[in-house]
């Protein structure tokens, strides 16, 4: 019995298009070498669709992990008047809200960087353009 993969033409345009469609489905970034993209697809599928990964995903489905901290454990960052419990609690709450805003901003910045890199990044290097010295 022969392996049907032995008869595939890995350089055919249909094959290249199919690899790119698979990469798009898996959200793998575009890369000029379709064979490398296929390797990345295979690695991702092997990792994400292994029996262990599937059972772990089923076990964790619908579960939200929330790490709770006590309000009095949050550092204020400055001193408050002695006995001013409500002022200290307010400062802690404002600090947590500020940190949440910073986290949202950082996520937006990371997203923007990824989008810019997707446009400007060129994984191939042209050594002819490089110069050493003067």
Give the pLDDT of the chain (134 residues) as one tens digit per residue.
Answer: 788 888 889 999 999 999 999 999 998 888 889 999 999 999 988 888 888 888 888 888 777 777 788 888 888 888 877 777 788 888 889 989 999 999 999 999 999 998 888 887 766 656 666 666 55
How far apart, in whole angstroms, are the C-alpha atoms of residue 113 and residue 125? 21
Residue 101: predicted pLDDT: 95
How many angstroms separate the Cα of 74 from the Cα of each of 65, 96, 111?
20, 8, 29
Q: Which two tokens stand for residue 114?
A: 């990824």
Q: What angle do CA 104, 24, 29 make, to 5 degrees?
A: 60
């Amino acid at each position: 019995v022969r392996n049907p993969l032995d008869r595939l033409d890995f350089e055919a345009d249909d094959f290249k298009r199919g690899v790119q469609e698979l990469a798009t489905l898996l959200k793998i970034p575009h890369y000029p070498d379709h064979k490398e993209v296929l390797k990345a697809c295979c690695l991702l599928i092997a990792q994400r669709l292994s029996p262990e990964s599937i059972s772990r995903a089923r076990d964790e489905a619908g579960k939200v992990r929330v790490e709770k901290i006590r309000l009095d454990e949050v550092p204020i960052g400055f001193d408050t008047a002695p006995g001013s419990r409500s002022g200290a609690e307010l400062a802690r709450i404002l600090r947590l809200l500020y940190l949440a805003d910073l986290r949202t901003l950082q996520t937006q910045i990371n997203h923007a960087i990824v989008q810019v890199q997707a446009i400007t990044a060129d994984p191939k290097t042209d050594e002819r353009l490089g110069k050493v010295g003067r």
